[in-house]
């Protein structure tokens, strides 16, 4: 099953063209890794999928982007963002307690019954492998957690609204190797139930967790193939050069 389809997708921020004629399909229950140097358009592409680019001044799009076969511009934006969750590059807890962070999205979508909210918070924290570390101090400020814990809290917060797709925007860029492996472990377990799109600066991370890998360069999709193919026998020599660290 296909979750997202982009056909001839172009986007601009003012005069700057951030994506050029991108054609891509994202399948359900896969982890698609997107690699590429900075300014290659990979984060801009990711932020198309939950329409977060709409917040940027001067944003325009051309072409077609569909989610479950529907034009993404025609779907109710709050409903879309509920179904397509996002984890940001830096751990960004809201200035609330641990519990309230995870419960925030749930409450915004109208769930007021306390037992239901508590159950969702516990389930989400368990899915993000954070429950055992925080279960005794749920009412403590989220800023008291370590960076790695904060990032897993952000994952739990995204899971709590029960999305279908989770977008990860360089989720481990600020984390140490042990925290990184915990986040990666969580991602691999989540694949069963969710579609995951992972933007990463870390080529090795793409190799470790991605089913398929896409390589972006200067706003163009250079190559998209199975992770194994991309890392052993890429079709484009620019992909080969990037993976071997010749530029970045």
Residues in contact with another protein by CB under 8 A are 50, 52, 55, 57, 78-82, 85-86, 88, 90, 92, 94-95, 104-105, 108-109, 141-143, 154, 157-158, 161
Question: Which of residues 128 and 224 has its CB atom nearest to another protein in the complex?
Answer: 128
For the chain, what is the total number of helices (H) and then of strands (E)?
10, 10
CB of 51 to another protein, least distance (A): 9
- Alpha carbon distance, N-terminus to C-terminus of the chain: 33
| CB atoms near residue 139 (< 10 Å) | 9
Supply angle C-alpha 183, 187, 193, rounded to 5: 150
Question: Which of residues 50 and 195 has its CB atom nearest to another protein in the complex?
Answer: 50
CB of 109 to another protein, least distance (A): 6
Question: Which of residues 21 and 141 has its CB atom nearest to another protein in the complex?
Answer: 141
CB of 226 to another protein, least distance (A): 29
CB of 92 to another protein, least distance (A): 5
Question: Which of residues 90 and 117 has its CB atom nearest to another protein in the complex?
Answer: 90
Contact 199, 34 (CB under 8 A): yes
Query: In terms of Cα–Cα distance, which of 140, 138, 102, 134 is closest to 121?
Result: 102
Contact 176, 150 (CB under 8 A): no
Question: Which of residues 64 and 88 has its CB atom nearest to another protein in the complex?
Answer: 88
In the DSSP assignment, the letter for residue 154 is H
Question: Which of residues 108 and 119 has its CB atom nearest to another protein in the complex?
Answer: 108
In the DSSP assignment, the letter for residue 237 is H
| CB atoms near residue 22 (< 10 Å) | 23
Kind and range of the H or E element at 115? helix 114-127
State both tokens at 131.
């429950």
CB of 177 to another protein, least distance (A): 25
Question: Which of residues 91 and 148 has its CB atom nearest to another protein in the complex?
Answer: 91
Contact 59, 12 (CB under 8 A): yes
CB of 156 to another protein, least distance (A): 12
Distances (CA, A) of 184 to 85, 177, 189, 205: 17, 10, 9, 8
CB of 107 to another protein, least distance (A): 8
């Amino acid at each position: 099953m296909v979750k997202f389809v982009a056909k001839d997708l172009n986007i601009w921020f003012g005069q700057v063209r951030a994506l050029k004629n991108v054609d891509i399909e994202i399948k359900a229950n896969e982890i698609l890794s997107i690699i590429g140097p900075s300014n290659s358009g990979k984060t801009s592409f990711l932020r198309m999928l939950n329409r977060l680019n709409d917040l940027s001044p001067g944003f325009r799009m051309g072409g077609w982007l569909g989610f479950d076969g529907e034009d993404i511009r025609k779907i109710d934006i709050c409903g879309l963002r509920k179904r397509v969750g996002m984890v940001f590059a830096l751990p960004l807890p809201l200035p609330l307690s641990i519990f309230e962070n995870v419960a925030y999205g749930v409450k915004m979508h109208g769930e007021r019954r306390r037992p239901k909210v508590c159950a969702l918070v516990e389930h989400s924290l368990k899915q993000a492998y954070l429950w055992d570390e925080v279960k005794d101090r749920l009412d403590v400020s989220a800023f008291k957690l370590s960076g790695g814990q904060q990032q897993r809290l952000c994952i739990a917060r995204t899971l709590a609204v029960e999305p279908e797709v989770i977008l990860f925007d360089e989720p481990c860029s600020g984390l140490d190797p042990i925290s990184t492996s915990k986040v990666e472990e969580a991602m691999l377990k989540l694949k069963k139930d969710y579609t995951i799109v992972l933007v990463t600066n870390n080529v090795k991370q793409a190799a470790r967790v991605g089913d398929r890998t896409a390589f972006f360069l200067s706003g163009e999709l250079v190559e998209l193939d199975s992770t194994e193919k991309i890392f052993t026998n890429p079709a484009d020599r620019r992909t080969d050069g990037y993976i071997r660290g010749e530029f970045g």
